[in-house]
Structure 1
Amino acid sequence: MTSPTPTHPVVELVKAGFAYEDGPAVLSGVDFPVAEGRAIALLGRNGSGKTTLLRLLSGGLRCGSGSLLLDGAEVAYDRKGLTRLRTTVQLVVQDPDDQLFAASVGQDVSFGPTNLGLPEEEVRLRVREALEALDIVALEDRPTHLLSYGQRKRAAIAGAVAMRPRVLIMDEPTAGLDPHGQERLLDALARLREAGTTVVMATHDVDLALRWADEAAVLSPAGLRTGPVAELLADDDLLAAARLRRPWGTSVARLLRAHGLLGADGVEPRTPEDLDAWVAAGAAGPRRSFRGSARALATE
């Protein structure tokens, strides 16, 4: 019987370390594989090294120790190696004003593909695809300085998407957005994932991470831990070390289990909307007793 061909993460940090000039180590011995087709939330307190890790992963910084692998091969930090990396991995920074520079949205989104030397027809196709993916086709000719903050966020992401990366990395993409803006951005990210893009998101929002991600990567003074998002965000010791609060959904699930309303293998509600749907369906058994228990929970 033929053994299956081994598969590598798309991009991976191996025993990576980094320190800024004349400063202590920000990261040390970090292993961080990014597998195809995943949604990964990177969490940690301020100053824990999240942004540094993202820049190492995208080639914006070079590992002081350890290595960065792309499809299992070590990245060369020459022009050819970095071009190959940046056509595979794209980073969107936290402040869109640090990324947008062209006069109009369409011009800005076209910059990356044009810089690759692609034919004009291919550039137009990529720009159209990116604008459609982020639901900003109507903004193509809009001057970037006239965009709202949420529109600038989506335009910056569209510029990265136009490069057709296999991995999209974002630093606090929902920061500064109102609830409606967050929902529109999450809808856009869902469309990108459906099209096959792997997404890594640094965030302080544990509720967003639990709702959105498949996996979590949590930075604490002990290093980086990775695993299923629900498992890591239920680890009180890890959350305390990383100075993160417990997600709302995790607390609700614990309360429901304590009252016998949710089995050990039951699907946990991760958002208020999940809980509403669960209550409406009478998911814990007979509707009368479930609703009576739910009322009891509400008064505690």
Structure 2
Amino acid sequence: MTSPTPVVELAQAGFAYEDGPPVLSGVDFTVAEGRAVALLGRNGSGKTTLLRLLSGGLRCGSGSLLLDGAEVAYDRKGLTRLRTTVQLVVQDPDDQLFAASVGQDVSFGPMNLGLPEEEVRLRVREALEALDIVALADRPTHLLSYGQRKRAAIAGAVAMRPRVLIMDEPTAGLDPHGQERLLEALRGLRETGTTVLMATHDVDLALRWADEAAVLSPSGLRTGPVAELLADDELLDAARLRRPWGTAVARLLRAHGLLGPDAPEPRTPEDLEGWTAAAPTAVPHAAEQGR
């Protein structure tokens, strides 16, 4: 099986803010085509710095940033190429939204590319549809709810038609319904070929949504399949992350002989409900063994 093609990658990258200690050192990190990647780590671990390095908002102090295998040049041409391929959505939408209306804000990036007016309108319409906010096109941005502002900020990035969409804590501050609407929009973007990298503190969200995980800890960055990494107690302790709900449930089921060693783990409560519906007599049996 051929490995997915790297789109953007950091090679032995390091960074330190002025007069501060290194935030990242010797980081190798690849974002491959078509993947959903969750970036996890405690506060201050360097997640946001890593995202900004990947999107060109910060320049590597050491090492390099590569796009399609070629080192990125931090000149106008190089950064334009990078930012039409990789788009970053910051955690606070108020740091990103600035135009009078949603439609105007979403159109800003495509207009700056010098695209024809018809092409700009097409991109804005597609982005609003992808984030399910067509009805908000003429709404003043200051009258949006927090969840609407989040989706409007993402739509602005999507209108650039990036191959890689990077988001910093996109579900932070959203209620459960808002989170589900956002995840549904991200599923649609992935189906159209967009690669998504999400920094999050939510290990349950990472387990249910991502294909791969990248975990920052004091010993460095470790990457791999999300279920594998989030089942590594030593890694989670080092990164100060809690155990995912699904992993804890799977361990309990296996301890009672109710889940085979190679069987897929439940990642959501809905997965568990489906499993119990398929094996209705297993739950009482487990309860008896646990007495």
CA contact (8 A) 1:19 1:26 kept: yes
Following superposition, the deviation at residue 4 of structure 1 comes to 13
2 CA distance for matches of 1:159 and 1:249?
34
What is the TM-score normalised by the length of structure 1?
0.92
1 CA distance for matches of 2:270 and 2:2?
47
Kindly provide the CA deviation profile for residues 159-215 of structure 1, in whole angstroms up to 9, marking residues without a partner as x. 000000000000000000000000000000000000000000000000000000000
CA contact (8 A) 2:4 2:32 kept: no
CA contact (8 A) 1:262 1:284 kept: no
Kindly provide the CA deviation profile for residues 16-35 of structure 1, in whole angstroms up to 9, marking residues without a partner as x. 00000000000000000000
Query: Residue 51 of structure 1 is aligned with which of 48, 53, 56?
Result: 48
Superposed, 1:80-229 pairs within 5 Å as 80-229=77-226
Q: Hey, what does 2:283 align to over in structure 1?
A: none
Shift in CA distance, 297/16, structure 1 to aligned 2, threshold 3 Å: farther
Kindly provide the CA deviation profile for residues 108-147 of structure 1, in whole angstroms up to 9, marking residues without a partner as x. 0000000000000000000000000000000000000000
2 CA distance for matches of 1:183 and 1:221?
32
Following superposition, the deviation at residue 261 of structure 1 comes to 0.3
CA contact (8 A) 1:153 1:173 kept: yes
2 CA distance for matches of 1:205 and 1:254?
20
1 CA distance for matches of 2:262 and 2:3?
33
2 CA distance for matches of 1:180 and 1:207?
16
Shift in CA distance, 261/284, structure 1 to aligned 2, threshold 3 Å: farther
Shift in CA distance, 297/221, structure 1 to aligned 2, threshold 3 Å: farther
Name stretches of at least 5 consecutive residues in structure 2 with no aligned partner: 281-285
Following superposition, the deviation at residue 285 of structure 1 comes to 5.7
Following superposition, the deviation at residue 284 of structure 1 comes to 7.4
Q: Hey, what does 2:288 align to over in structure 1?
A: 297
Following superposition, the deviation at residue 5 of structure 1 comes to 10
Paired-residue identity, %: 91
SS at match of 1:91: strand
2 CA distance for matches of 1:20 and 1:31?
19
2 CA distance for matches of 1:297 and 1:190?
40
SS at match of 1:211: helix
Runs of 4+ that moved beyond 6 A:
1-6
SS at match of 1:22: coil
CA contact (8 A) 2:256 2:289 kept: no
Name stretches of at least 5 consecutive residues in structure 1 with no aligned partner: 287-294
Shift in CA distance, 297/248, structure 1 to aligned 2, threshold 3 Å: farther
CA contact (8 A) 1:104 1:143 kept: yes
Kindly provide the CA deviation profile for residues 221-244 of structure 1, in whole angstroms up to 9, marking residues without a partner as x. 000000000000000000000000
Q: Hey, what does 1:245 align to over in structure 2?
A: 242
Q: Hey, what does 2:2 align to over in structure 1?
A: 2
Shift in CA distance, 241/2, structure 1 to aligned 2, threshold 3 Å: closer
1 CA distance for matches of 2:4 and 2:146?
47
CA contact (8 A) 2:42 2:241 kept: yes
CA contact (8 A) 2:231 2:247 kept: yes
Equivalent residues, number: 285
Shift in CA distance, 45/2, structure 1 to aligned 2, threshold 3 Å: closer
SS at match of 1:77: coil
Shift in CA distance, 75/116, structure 1 to aligned 2, threshold 3 Å: same
SS at match of 2:265: coil
Query: Residue 285 of structure 1 is aligned with which of 279, 286, 290?
Result: 279
Shift in CA distance, 24/138, structure 1 to aligned 2, threshold 3 Å: same
1 CA distance for matches of 2:5 and 2:212?
24
Following superposition, the deviation at residue 3 of structure 1 comes to 14
CA contact (8 A) 2:230 2:243 kept: yes
2 CA distance for matches of 1:167 and 1:125?
20
SS at match of 1:87: helix
CA contact (8 A) 2:4 2:34 kept: no
Following superposition, the deviation at residue 267 of structure 1 comes to 1.4
Following superposition, the deviation at residue 251 of structure 1 comes to 0.3
CA contact (8 A) 1:249 1:271 kept: yes
Shift in CA distance, 87/284, structure 1 to aligned 2, threshold 3 Å: same
2 CA distance for matches of 1:244 and 1:2?
32
CA contact (8 A) 1:92 1:171 kept: yes
CA contact (8 A) 1:11 1:35 kept: yes
Shift in CA distance, 260/299, structure 1 to aligned 2, threshold 3 Å: closer
